[in-house]
Homo-oligomer: A and B are copies of this chain.
Amino acid sequence: MSHHQRLLDSLRQAGHRLTPQREMILAIIGESQTHLTAKAILQRVRARYPHINKSAIYRTLDLLTRLGLVNPTDLGHGQIEYEIRQRPFHHHLICHNCGKITRVDESLFASLDRKLRDEYGFAADLCHFAIFGLCAKCQARTTPTRTRRTK
C-alpha cells in the first residue's frame, strides 16, 4: 500500500471526509522529503486546483496534526513548517549563530522519555523537536580565547 494511500485511509477511518482539497494536500506533504510551509503547500496545490483557499490548507494541516499524521514545527524561519510523521522519529539541532540544522535520531530522547513516565506519569510526544543552541564551530568562534571582548 502506498504512502499516500495510508494517509487517505487514516483520514477516512477517523471519520473524516475525503475531499479533493485534502487529497491534494496529503499528496504534496506525503511526497515531500523536506519541511514545507503552509505557503509552499498552498502554491503547489493551486498549481493544479487554483480555487483552493488558504483556510483549507491551515484547517487540513491542523486536522492532520491532531490525527498524528504530520508534525508542525517552528525551525526559526518565521513560519511554521510541516513534515509527515514517520518512524523512526528525528529531531533538529539549530545553531542560533549560523543557522546550521543537524538532523538527530529519536534515540537521544529515550532517557528523557523514561524519566517523564517514571517521575510524572507523563506520556510525552517526543517526535519532532527543534533544539536551538550553538554548533561546535560557532562555539569556537564566539568564545575564542576568553581574553578579549568581541568589540
Residues of A whose CB lies within 8 Å of any CB of B are 74, 93, 95-96, 102, 104, 108-109, 111-112, 115-116, 119-126, 131-136, 139
Residue of B nearest to A102 (CB): B120
Nearest Cβ on chain B to A48's Cβ, whole angstroms: 32
A120 in contact with B96 given A74-B74, A111-B111, A112-B108 (CB within 8 Å): no
Which residues from B are CB-within-8-Å of A109?
A: 112
A133 in contact with B123 given A93-B116, A116-B108 (CB within 8 Å): yes
Residue of B nearest to A105 (CB): B119
Which residues from B are CB-within-8-Å of A122?
A: 93, 95, 102, 131, 133-136
B133 touches A116 (CB 8 A): yes
Nearest Cβ on chain B to A113's Cβ, whole angstroms: 9
Nearest Cβ on chain B to A98's Cβ, whole angstroms: 12
A139 touches B124 (CB 8 A): no
A93 in contact with B112 given A125-B132, A133-B125 (CB within 8 Å): no
Nearest Cβ on chain B to A53's Cβ, whole angstroms: 21
Which residues from B are CB-within-8-Å of A74?
A: 74
Which residues from B are CB-within-8-Å of A133?
A: 116, 122-126
A9 to B136, CA, bound (A): 30
